[in-house]
Amino acid sequence: MKLIKPPKLNAGDVIGLISPASSPDDLNKINKGVSYLESIGYRVELGKNVGLQEGYLAGTDEQRLEDLHYMFESKHVKAIFSIRGGYGSTRLLDKINYNLIKRNPKIFVGYSDINALQLAFLKKCGLVTFAGPMVAVDFHEQVSEFTEEIFWRTITSNKKIGRLKNPSDEKFFVLRKGRGVGNLIGGNLSIFTSLVGTEYLPPFKTPVFIFEEINEPPYKIDRMFNQIRLAKLFKNAQAIILGRFVNCYETDNSKSSFTLNEVILEYFEKMKIPVIYNVKHGHIKENITIPFGLQCIVNGSRGFIEIPESGVV
């Protein structure tokens, strides 16, 4: 697969904001996020349908798609940030004009439900995208300095990203030693799993998988990892990176359950490739930005993760 890296973001550039999935309950969070972006020197353009509500969606499929296409087509918009996740991105996948996106590669940022679009862009266009902060989730209140530093450096510098580090240099937990090199793919576990068997999952021959999740009990984590296993997607994996699994425990104390760690050990402890856990990526305030598609080196024996190239040009 030939990768396309988007042009880097420069001071004063226009950032387009869209809601491809759900809308925030409090629209004032959008205003606060816009104020933050403007305070650090960027101009902002809101999609014309931002703020709409259609059930659990941020407007109809057609309205959300209109904003997505507009931002990629507009020559003055240099990056596209998602306002929040939620649900709805997968409903757009068979309606998107991928040729439009391929002709106008831009920085595209989000995580959680937005992961569906990122995987589809990688598959259909080869576009490198970024699992990073969202406007009404991460930018509406005090922003983590850790999140800020790695995010803005990743999308504004064409130097190699280098080694990924946890906040306060907290060590990664090495589940399996060894060294693996491949292209980063994955993201939100439930979104990734929902694309198995569709035409929107990138077919890397040597993937380095990264997964994160929120609010799913261990039996559902088990089911999703098992589906990936049954689909033989782990077969060519060069390494596994496990981000944060937030609130992934059984909430009903009357039920017997494995713990999250027991489920993870079941699937990954006996693999013959490096597996690294406790990587600060996912639904957390201090969040490592992940560039999907780039080459990644995982060294379980020495406990580091490195991206030896830039995410932008």
Q: What is the pLDDT of residue 273?
A: 98
**Which sequence positions are flagged as catalytic?**
112, 212, 283
CB 46 within 8 A of CB 67: no
Query: How many other CB atoms sit within 10 Å of the CB of residue 31?
Result: 14
Report percent pLDDT > 90 for the chain: 97
Average of per-residue pLDDT across 92-120? 98
Average of per-residue pLDDT across 77-98? 98
Average pLDDT, the chain: 97
Would you put residue 301 in left (φ > 0), alpha (ψ -120 to 50) or beta?
alpha
Report all structural domains of the chain as residue ranges with CATH numbers, in order of start.
14-156 (3.40.50.10740), 162-307 (3.50.30.60)
pLDDT tens, position by position, 45-81: 999 999 999 999 999 999 999 999 999 999 999 999 9
Token digits of residue 8: 């880097």
Report percent pLDDT > 70 for the chain: 100
Q: What is the pLDDT of residue 312?
A: 98
Residue whose pair of structure tokens reads 């959008």 in the numeric block:
30
pLDDT tens, position by position, 199-220: 999 988 999 999 999 999 999 9
CB 238 within 8 A of CB 273: yes
Choose among 49, 127, 64, 51: nearest CA to 96.
Answer: 64
Would you put residue 64 in left (φ > 0), alpha (ψ -120 to 50) or beta?
alpha
pLDDT tens, position by position, 221-244: 999 999 999 999 999 999 999 999
